[in-house]
Amino acid sequence: MTLEVKDLNYGEFKNFNIVFKSYRSYSIIGDINCGNETLFRILSTSIMTNNSIFFNDTCLNVDTRFSYLRKIGVIKEVNNNSFILDNVYDELAFSLKKLNLDEEEIKTRIDFYLKYFNLKIKSKKISELNLYEKQLMMVIMALLHEPSIIIMEDIICNLKLEDYIKVNKLFSYFMDKKKLIVIKFFNNFDYVNHDDYIYVMDNYEIIKKGFKDDLMVDDQFLNKHNLRVPFMYDLSLKLKMYKLIDKVYLNMEDMVNDIWK
């Protein structure tokens, strides 16, 4: 599976190009006006553009939109309009029933995710859920129909850290097993995984790309574009400047052991 944006011309986007491939997780990062939010809407079809999005060389348009929507799972921040039914199970089962899956298969899939996230909400009303549970429901709803591409906006504020880690573990599992593509959108680097391929956006353009470890060491570039250097990279770079260590550490214990050998 390949998802490609070719010569996109929409609003501030001018001849914009970007490619996403299977088995890989991507983070698209930039300041609050970089344009990644518009790109999120375009890729999740909230905004329809003409002849610019290609999935496996099929162009996304009005005729192919439905098959594209079956291939993607969109994880948005939960809000008051996120759910249409009253009960958790009905809401989770809704999209699967539209795919004509039999009841047993629907139940198996729903049970798998509820168990994975340790959620005891199957027989609850949505109005009884807290914010974390609602956000996890959004994650589950995006995964239930087994999409090939996950498109996710920054939801970390609505999750506990341990749940967010679980979400990413699940993505990694599906990337290995089912060639999933994961595309995440952020305004900073705090929750980017080390194995993510990163596109840095500024003013509706890609200004830098590469793996996290390669990008993080350029603190001048990050500061210039209003991006915070994550804690361990920042610490490493400063200690390197003081000549107390000679490499970047991602493990704090290893770093401390090296400083005070």
Partner 1 sequence: MEIKIKDEKIKVTKPSIIGLMGNNYETYLEELSHNKRSVGYIKKNEYYYTNYVYDELLLFMNRCKCEVKNVAKRMEKVLDSLSLPYSFLEKEISDLSKGEKRILSYLRIFIFNPKVLIIDEPFKNLDYKYEKIVINYLRELKNKYNKTIIIASNNSNIIYENTNKTIIIDKDIIFKDTIKLFSDNEIIEKYNLNIPNLVMFSKLAEKKNKKIKYYQDNRELMKEVYRNV
Q: Which residues bind partner 1 (CB under 8 A)?
A: 30-33, 37, 77, 79-80, 130-131, 154, 157-158, 160-161, 187-188, 223, 226-228, 231-232, 234-235, 238-239, 242, 244, 252-253, 256-257, 259-260
**Of 235, 203, 205, 207, whose CA–CA distance to 219 is shortest?**
235
Q: What is the rounded CA–CA span in Å between residue 74 and residue 96?
A: 15
- Closer CB to partner 1, residue 41 or residue 209? 41
- Closer CB to partner 1, residue 4 or residue 31? 31
- Closer CB to partner 1, residue 85 or residue 252? 252
- Closer CB to partner 1, residue 69 or residue 237? 237
**Minimum gap (Å) between residue 97 Cβ and partner 1:** 29
- Closer CB to partner 1, residue 78 or residue 175? 78
- Closer CB to partner 1, residue 100 or residue 127? 127
**Minimum gap (Å) between residue 249 Cβ and partner 1:** 11
3-state helix/strand/coil string of the chain: CEEEEEEEEECCEEEEEEEEECCCEEEEEECCCCCHHHHHHHHCCCCCCCCCEEECCEECCCCCHHHHHHHEEEECCCCCCCCCCCEHHHHHHHHHHHCCCCHHHHHHHHHHHHHHCCCCCCCCEHHHCCHHHHHHHHHHHHHCCCCCEEEECCCHHHCCHHHHHHHHHHHHHHHHHHCCEEEEEECCCCCCCCCCEEEEEECCEEEEEEEHHHHHCCHHHHHHCCCCCCHHHHHHHHHHHCCCCCCCCCCHHHHHHHHCC
**Minimum gap (Å) between residue 79 Cβ and partner 1:** 6
**Minimum gap (Å) between residue 260 Cβ and partner 1:** 4
Alpha carbons within 13 A on the beta-carbon side of 96: 22
**Minimum gap (Å) between residue 254 Cβ and partner 1:** 10
